[in-house]
Chains A and B, each alone.
Chain A
Amino acid sequence: MNQTVAFGIFSVGIIISILGGAKVPEEGATWPTTLGLFGVGAFIAVVGLVMWRKVVADANANDAAAEENQDPAVLLANMAEPLDKLSQEIGDLDADTLTQRIDEILDTYVLPFAEVRQRIINKLGMERGAEILVVVAYGERMLNRVWSAAADGHLPEATSCFPEAHEAFTEAQKLLQSPS
């Protein structure tokens, strides 16, 4: 079923129903004489609406399935090495290089983790899962702050915030690995 066809049927129905509802009722009457036309138009619009929503729902389901191929625990574990490396080198980096390194970590590990975070809650339950996700969110926000400070040319702030981010991701990994 094509979205354009469904949208077309819906639009035709809407136009007919608007036409049917527009006529002014005759003296003493409450409803216009074109109420039947309105009903036909509304029915066609409902048919078109159902078809349209189904097409869109199917498309969304396909998109969601494509994202479900990353393990959040692996992403978190793999983040440790680049974070450790950056921690050792951060004092020697200029602002542009620092922002690029932060972007790499965000794009490669943090944002993909966020896309599949529901798996953490499914696996560990709402309470424990939420605790881990909140810590990861804090770490991500601190990485964003490092980026902003570096882009603003304020390297002291960037280097002082980075350990907060590093600690947060380290703690999140420990929480994930610890027994319930």
Chain B
Amino acid sequence: MSGDIKARAVASAMTEKYRELTPAAMILGVLQGIVLNLAFVYAALKLGFSIGGSTVAAIMGYALLRGVMGKGTMIENNINQTIASGINTAGTGVVFTLPALFMLDAKWKADGLPGLEFSMGPLLIGGVAGAVLGVVLIIPLRKQMIDLDRLRFPSGVAVATIIRSGSTGIEKAKLLGIGFALGAGWKLLMATGILDAPGVLYHEELNVSFGFIPDYFSPVLYLSLMNLAAGLLAGRGGLPFFVGGLLAWWVLSPAAYFLGWTPPVETTTALAQFADGSISKGTPVFGFTYGKMIRPLGIGALIGGALMGVVMSFPAIKSALRSLATAAKTAASGGSKVGSDEMPLSVLIAGTIGAVALFFVASIMTDGVSLGQAILSSIVGVIWLFLAGLIVAQATGMTDISPMSGMALISVTLMMFLLNNNVAAAMVVGVAVCVAIGQGADMMQDLKTGYMIGGRPVKQQIAQFCVTWMGALLAAGAIYLLWHYGPKGTGAGGFGEGSPLPAPQAGVLMGIIDAVKSGNVPIDKYALGGIVGALLGAAPMAGLGVLIGLAMYLPFSITFGYGLGCLASMWMTKKFGGEFYQHKLVPVAAGLIVGEAIMGIFHAGFEMAKAMGG
């Protein structure tokens, strides 16, 4: 099969210009970007972190451009994955921030307070402005970060490896398809509730007490193939996340119970007895331990870890500022050979002016924002957006970890102080900064991939510049849909605490905003958790504070499934080798994630249609 494909490719290559920025690549990139954006918004609401879509896009690009059309090139596939990942990544910035507004509104109303008035319009405009600014502000630094500093950008290198893998692309695409079918089918089965049994299986959660494990060990497993697949992809690197969950529920929780730190309860064996409602309503021990101890400590650790991640990026900040200072000097370096490969400065200037104007419009449209405040937030917001994007791009290039959560927290808190605690207005800037950060880091990863396979940077820059606005709009739409029609748990909306989509990152942001506004917070847990998170964040293992904090924040049923995936991946890699991981495990796992997420979105859409029809 691969020989036929190669023969067709050679035959067409001898008569055609070398394909690079083509309509096929752009259309495929947009279609994939839309699918990946929606899928990973769903995944991020569930897991608290997003997964890059470049790998999936590169595999599918090879299968469709080369396998089906018979004429795709590596450079063309790079354009496809540049567009797809650009649309996908913009969604990450939105999903880390926007859900907090919905959740805050519901919480304040539930507490008997006035709700949070906000309009989607300014948020959408802010997202688009952030997307454009993220791309245009990072492009002038390509030469410095990639040609001179030669930052590693590990994900960019990995995607280049996939693109170059040639004939194995078709086999990978088949495995991706199998994973997709399995993930979507399983999700459909779970969503219908056909297999539910009281006390045993409820809303995709399985009681794994085996009749004897007490409640304080939280013996519940979330039967999600997405969870498992995320662990499979992470492998050894995901172990800290699993360890955080074990620490919370197999060390801290039983210790708290036996030390008498929890209120006296009638029973700790509701799960072991498979009592009806024991999974859906939780148990008294679980409720106290999770709500008053583990979760707020996790929030503190997540904040401390995220902020320490920014501090640890100080070498990247220094390097980024040096990049800025020398970028002007190197702009003309290389003479005529190199100059024609960059987007013209006039386009960048026009894009920047347009995006700043959008930023201003978004701010002035927000209730309670005066003209002076709109100008202030536009200026400060753009300056901070540029600095944050620079720092994150540098950090991503050096470590492949982006301190996006820390930057989002700083952005929103800073703007709340500048805008008299106007949450909606602060969130406009928060959304814009997060989207810009994601776009800047993603653009750099893609340019690294392009460098390694010989793509011309200007073509990637044009491609991403054209489509960058889509991702923020798509993600906002998906979040709106899921809030109103998603799988409701104990909360008011389709995601948040108590629902199958806990939205942990937004939950932490919500906690901070609530703390700033109301002053009613478990300050001891946030502070002590923050110190622990900072210590973990300072460890020579990137992202440790955020991972452990996230694991403590999320229900153990989710981290348990993820951990099983990590262990399975480590075992399979040891038994069958690294090649097995790259060529078999990665495409299947990616397919599982996309399949479940897409089915989850469809299910929400189905519920919406039912509600509207009824």
Q: At the interface with chain A, which of B272-280, B417-425, B503-511, B526-534?
A: B526-534
Cβ of A146 under 8 Å from chain B: yes
**Chain A residues near B297 (CB-CB < 8 A):** 18, 21-22
> Which residue in A32, A135, A152 is a CB contact (below 8 Å) of B338?
A135
Chain B positions within 8 Å of A, measured between CB atoms, are 6, 9-10, 13-14, 18, 73-75, 143, 146-148, 150, 164, 166, 247, 251-252, 255-256, 261, 292-294, 297, 326, 329-330, 333-335, 337-338, 341, 451-455, 523-525, 528-529, 531-532, 535-536, 538-540
Residues from chain B with Cβ under 8 Å of A157 in the complex: 13, 18
User: A38–B532 Cα gap in the complex (Å)?
Assistant: 9
Are B164 and A148 in contact, with the CB atoms below 8 A? yes
Contact with B along A83-119 (1 / 0, CB 8 A): 0000000000001000000000000000000100100
> Could you tell me the distance between the alpha carbons of A5 and B245 in the complex, rounded to whole angstroms?
23
When the two chains form their complex, are residues B454 and A149 in contact, meaning their CB atoms are under 8 A apart?
A: yes
17 A-B pairs with C-beta separation under 8 A:
A14-B532, A21-B528, A24-B293, A53-B539, A126-B326, A126-B329, A130-B333, A133-B147, A133-B148, A134-B148, A138-B334, A141-B454, A145-B75, A153-B10, A153-B13, A154-B18, A154-B73
A172 → chain B closest CB, angstroms: 10
Query: By the criterion CB–CB under 8 Å, are A130 and B13 in contact?
Result: no
Please give me the residue from chain A that is nearest to B243 by CB atom.
Answer: A11
Residue of B nearest to A115 (CB): B150
Verify B166–A151 contact, CB threshold 8 A.
Answer: yes
Indicate whether A30 sits within 8 Å of B523 (C-beta atoms), given known contacts A126-B329, A164-B337: yes
Alpha-carbon distance between A131 and B329 when the two chains are bound, in angstroms: 9
Q: Is the CB of B540 within 8 A of A53?
A: yes
Q: Which residue of A lies closest to B259 (CB)?
A: A23
- Output the nearest chain A residue to B166 by Cβ-Cβ distance: A151
Cross-chain contact B454 with A161 (CB below 8 angstroms): yes
In the complex, what distance in Å separates the CA atom of A130 from the CA atom of B333?
Answer: 7
Chain A: which residue is nearest B288 at the CB level?
Answer: A24
- A167–B334 CA distance with the chains assembled, in angstroms: 12
Q: How far in angstroms is the closest Cβ of chain B from A126?
A: 6
Contact A52-B330, Cβ < 8 Å, known A46-B535, A148-B454: no
- Whether B454 lies near A134 (C-beta < 8 A) is no
- A62 to B76 Cα, complex, angstroms: 41
Q: Chain A residues near B147: list those with CB within 8 A.
A: 133-134, 137-138
- Report chain B residues within 8 Å CB of A38: 528
Q: How many residues of A contact B (CB 8 A)?
A: 58
Please give the distance in Å from B369's CB to the nearest CB on chain A. 35
- B326 with A24: CB separation less than 8 A: no
A15 to B261, CA, bound (A): 17
Known: A10-B539, A145-B75, A153-B13. A130 touches B326 (CB 8 A): yes
Which listed residue (A20, A22, A25, A144) contacts B453, Cβ 8 A?
Answer: A144
Report whether B451 and A22 are in contact in the complex, using a CB–CB cutoff of 8 Å: no
Would you call B13 and A151 a contact (CB within 8 A)? no
CB neighbours of A36 from chain B (8 A): none
A residues lining the B interface (CB < 8 Å): 10, 13-15, 17-25, 30-32, 38, 42, 45-46, 49, 52-53, 56, 95, 114, 117, 126-127, 130-131, 133-135, 137-138, 140-149, 151-157, 161, 164, 167-168, 171
Q: Please, which residue of chain A has its CB at the minimum distance from the CB of B263?
A: A24
Interface residues of chain B: helix, strand, loop or mixed (majority): helix
Give the distance in Å from the alpha carbon of A143 to the alpha carbon of B451 in the complex. 10
> How far does the Cβ of B291 sit from chain A's closest Cβ, in whole Å?
10
What's the Cα separation between A46 and B534 when bound, in Å?
A: 11
Are A148 and B73 touching (Cβ within 8 A)?
yes
A95 neighbours in B (Cβ, 8 Å): 10
The chain A residue with its CB closest to the CB of B552 is A18
C-alpha spacing A161/B148, complex, angstroms:
22
Please, which residues of chain A bring their CB within 8 A of the CB of B292?
Answer: 24
CA distance A10 to B334 in the complex (A): 49
A171 to B338, CA, bound (A): 12
Cα(A22)–Cα(B294), bound, Å: 7
| Smallest CB gap from B341: residue in A | A138
- Whether A134 pairs with B453 at a CB distance below 8 angstroms is no
CA distance A78 to B111 in the complex (A): 74
A52 touches B74 (CB 8 A): no
Q: Which residues of A are found within 8 Å of B294, using beta-carbon distances?
A: 22
Q: Please name the 8 residue pairs, one residue from A and one from B, whose CB atoms are nearest each other, closest first.
A: A145-B454, A21-B528, A153-B10, A137-B147, A157-B18, A144-B454, A154-B13, A134-B334
* Inter-chain contact A152/B333, CB cutoff 8 Å: no
Contact B528 A49 (CB under 8 A): no
Decide if B146 touches A137 in the complex (CB within 8 Å). Answer: yes
* B333 neighbours in A (Cβ, 8 Å): 130-131, 134-135
**For the complex, what is the distance from the CA of A60 to the CA of B293, rounded to whole Å?**
39
Q: Are B524 and A25 interface neighbours, CB within 8 A?
A: yes
Q: Are A141 and B523 in contact (CB under 8 A)?
A: no
Residue from the list A19, A32, A134, A145 in contact with B143, Cβ < 8 A: A134
> Once the chains are docked, how many angstroms separate the CA of A126 from the CA of B164?
34
Q: Which residues of B contact A143 (CB under 8 A)?
A: 454
Taking CB as reference atom, which chain B residue is nearest A10?
B539
Closest CB of chain B to A112's CB: distance in Å?
A: 13
Determine whether the beta carbon of A148 is less than 8 Å from that of B150.
no
Inter-chain contact B454/A23, CB cutoff 8 Å: no
CA separation between A49 and B337, bound complex, in Å? 49
In the complex, what residues of A have CB within 8 A of residue B326's CB?
126, 130
**Whole-angstrom distance from the CB of A29 to the nearest CB of chain B?**
9
Q: Nearest-CB distance from A166 to chain B (Å)? A: 11
